[in-house]
Amino acid sequence: MIPVGKPGSLTEWERYMFDVAGYLVIPDALTSFEVEAGLEAAKRLHNQFDDNRWRQIGAAYEKEPAIEPLIDHPSVLPKVRALLGDYFILQSSWCTRSPSGFTGQNWHQDGSGLYEFRRLALPTPLVQLRVGYFLTDQSQPNMGNMIMIPGSHNAALPKPQGPPDEEIPVAEVVCGKPGTALIFHQGVFHCGTQNEMDYPRFIQHMVYAPPWLIPSDRKQNDPEFLQRTTPLRRALLGEWERPDAPFAGGYPKPPFPDA
Ligand SMILES: O=C(O)CCC(=O)C(=O)O
């Protein structure tokens, strides 16, 4: 059973399902207009490369106005706040293209490959809260869908090698129409699966984390983008006024609408 929620604030049941499964699926997080504009933007970004490869492009919101609202989208941001509190940043973002004929990724947890988050503690603490917005249809399997092992963020044992991935009986292929959001804990074992369609699959991932984790999709924020975006988005990109001691008290909260 897919842990399904609704856009907006995090209900107690959604919190519980997220805790148990490690992810939530939110149909209709984006309107059809937002999907259409986001998909055009994703295609434009990837079409600058003359190939048919699997690829992730970081900080797409700086270049594409249709991606920018996903930094603080009201369908999902209240849930991010409910899970991370009020002090967090958009630590990375990846506009992901899975080409026609792609055979699938390897299973993995997210985070720093150099220093895996599961070294911090077991079960792996929540460090990256990921939100993947489906820009193309994934309502059936074999459309480049994400596949998850529910609850694997809470497992102390690493995932064994074999049986072949498609035979893991507890794995769940996430299906959803364009505009669906998949919110997940970085510790859930997951991967993108095969794309048997004759067109590429696009997901825009937005990754939220505590403010002490350095951004991984950018070396610095683009000053021009900072100037033209909103105060809340600037804050979510980590552009905070720094009081006398970093990460002690005294930081103003990001200017959330209800602050
Ligand atoms: O978008 C995808 O297909 C998978 C992305 C992913 O697993 C990742 O960024 O860690």
Could you tell me the strand order of the sheet in which 201-209 lies? 23-26, 181-185, 129-134, 201-209, 89-98, 55-58
Q: Of 156, 134, 140, whose CA–CA distance to 29 is shortest?
A: 134
Per-residue pLDDT at 136: 98
Instruction: Fill in the DSSP letter of residue 8.
Output: S
Rounded distance from Cα 107 to ligand 1 centre (Å): 10
Say how far apart CA 70 and CA 93 lie, in whole Å: 10
Q: What is the pLDDT of residues 196-244, one digit of tens each?
A: 999 999 999 999 999 999 999 999 999 999 999 999 999 999 998 766 6
Residue nearest to atom 6 of ligand 1 (CA): 191
Residues 6+ apart with CB under 8 A from 129: 80, 83, 84, 88, 183, 184, 185, 186, 207, 208, 209
Per-residue pLDDT at 148: 96
Pocket test for ligand 1, best of 46, 55, 57, 94 (most atoms within 8 A of CB): 94
The two counts, helices (H) then strands (E), for the chain are 5, 9
Q: What ligand 1 atom has the least distance to the C-alpha of 144?
A: 3
Per-residue pLDDT at 152: 96
The token duo for 199 is 């067109």
Per-residue pLDDT at 246: 65
Q: Of 192, 218, 187, 189, whose CA–CA distance to 203 is shortest?
A: 192
Q: Of 119, 79, 101, 36, whose CA–CA distance to 206 is shortest?
A: 79
**CB of 128 within 8 A of CB of 186?**
yes
Q: What are phi and psi of 78, to 5 degrees?
A: -60, -30
Say how far apart CA 110 and CA 59 lie, in whole Å: 18
pLDDT confidence band for 253 (50 / 70 / 90) = confident
pLDDT confidence band for 111 (50 / 70 / 90) = confident
Q: What are phi and psi of 122, to 5 degrees?
A: -125, 130
Q: What does the domain layout of the chain look like in residue ranges?
A: 12-236
pLDDT confidence band for 114 (50 / 70 / 90) = confident
Residue nearest to atom 1 of ligand 1 (CA): 96
Pairing outcome for strands 201-209 and 190-192 = unpaired
Which residues lie with the beta carbon below 6 Å from any ligand 1 atom?
Answer: 94, 96, 98, 110, 190-192, 203, 205
Q: Which of 24-28, 94-98, 141-145, 244-248 has the lowest mean pLDDT?
A: 244-248
Residue nearest to atom 10 of ligand 1 (CA): 110
Mean pLDDT across 128-157: 96
Rounded distance from Cα 243 to ligand 1 centre (Å): 36
Q: Tell me the residue ranges of DSSP E strands in the chain.
A: 23-26, 55-58, 89-98, 129-134, 146-148, 172-173, 181-185, 190-192, 201-209
Rounded distance from Cα 168 to ligand 1 centre (Å): 19
Residue 3 has pLDDT above 70, yes or no: yes
Rounded distance from Cα 58 to ligand 1 centre (Å): 12
Residue 75 has pLDDT above 70, yes or no: yes
Pocket test for ligand 1, best of 97, 100, 146 (most atoms within 8 A of CB): 146
Query: Of all residues in the chain, what percent carry a pLDDT higher than 70?
Result: 95
Residue 132 has pLDDT above 90, yes or no: yes
Topology of domain 12-236, per CATH?
Jelly Rolls (2.60.120)
Residue nearest to atom 5 of ligand 1 (CA): 192
Rounded distance from Cα 215 to ligand 1 centre (Å): 17
Residue 181 has pLDDT above 70, yes or no: yes
φ/ψ bin of 96: left (φ > 0), alpha (ψ from -120 to 50), beta (otherwise): beta
Query: Of all residues in the chain, what percent carry a pLDDT higher than 90?
Result: 83
